[in-house]
Amino acid sequence: MSQTFGARSTTDEVLEGFDLRGKRVLVTGVSAGLGVETARALAARGAHVIGAARDLAKARRATAGVRGIELIELDLASLASARAAAEALLDDGQILDLVIANAGVMACPKGVTADGFETQFGTNHLGHFVFVNRIAPLLRRGARFVSLASSGHRVADVDLDDPGFKRTEYKEFVAYGRSKTANILFAVEFDRRFRDRGIRAAAVHPGVIQTELSRHTTQEAIEEVIRTYDAPRPDGVATLEFKSIPQGAATSVWAGVAAKADEIGGRYCEDCRVAEVNDAPGLRQGVRSYALDPERAKALWAKSEEMVGQRF
């Protein structure tokens, strides 16, 4: 189980040799892409997977070949839906070994959620913030929480004074970057709060993958992202390459199952390893120091509680 993995590793390679029978895993966003592959790989090792999705009909079609999965409805753009889904799980009362917050939106036009929050911050962060905190009592000792972030966090820190772009010009990738930084900071503070219970949390960057997540993104925007990745590329370093979906989901299952808990707790992972802090310009690799700042994580938690009207 100590094998070293990397950017080209797949979910099946990372999970080879693991027997997950008796484990209960929850994955959000199982209607397409990384969520479906994550659920498939975990279920193939015997885990009972609870797949959460906004569109259950689409999720049923997408997971038709996945054995050992049950589906629940969860619209992360609605706090009422997040709370209802959590309450149903709490009423059921069955313990969870792993939660992977995979669902999200990327670089969408300016809009608001059902509760009036900026769409990307509200969906990617606040929806998961409420849902995961509500189901936290179900996490057994030794459980893990994996929050999917992105190298896009390197575009922007969270803005706790103007999370809704009321005074700031809205830019799709800035909003995305803020929400992905929030995903990391949420994992940092969740880990601090729960590690004494033996529960660890980590954020992961899956890599650059062409999935439905990029449905709002123009070809010009994609090309600009590639140029941004490659602009600070040192001599001898390969140009940006897209990952396959099994490669993209590998870091999620690595952090959730294969890595040592103390290794990944409160950290940001990429390419099936813990990333180094890197504040240099560009999107290429590493985690910005602001995304791991424990005080920033505490401040975001407090701001999030204020926004959703609930303390955790």
Would you name the residues annotated as active-site residues? Answer: 176
Q: 124: closest CA among 72, 77, 55? A: 77
Q: Could you tell me if 292 and 188 are in contact, meaning their C-beta atoms sit under 8 angstroms apart?
A: yes
Q: Rounded to the nearest 5 degrees, what angle is found at the Cα of 293, between the Cα atoms of 291 and 298?
A: 105
Whole-angstrom distance, CA of residue 8 vs CA of residue 33: 17
Which residues, other chains included, contact 78 with Cβ-Cβ below 8 Å and sequence gap of 6+? Answer: 113, 114, 115, 127
Amino acid (1-letter code) at residue 92: D
Tokens 């966090």 locate to 153
Determine the length of the chain. Answer: 312
Q: Which two tokens stand for residue 179?
A: 């929400």
Whole-angstrom distance, CA of residue 243 vs CA of residue 311: 38
**For 120-182, what is the HEC assignment?**
HHHHHHHHHHHHHHHHHHHEEEEEEEEEECCHHHHHCCCCCCCCCCCCCCCCHHHHHHHHHHH
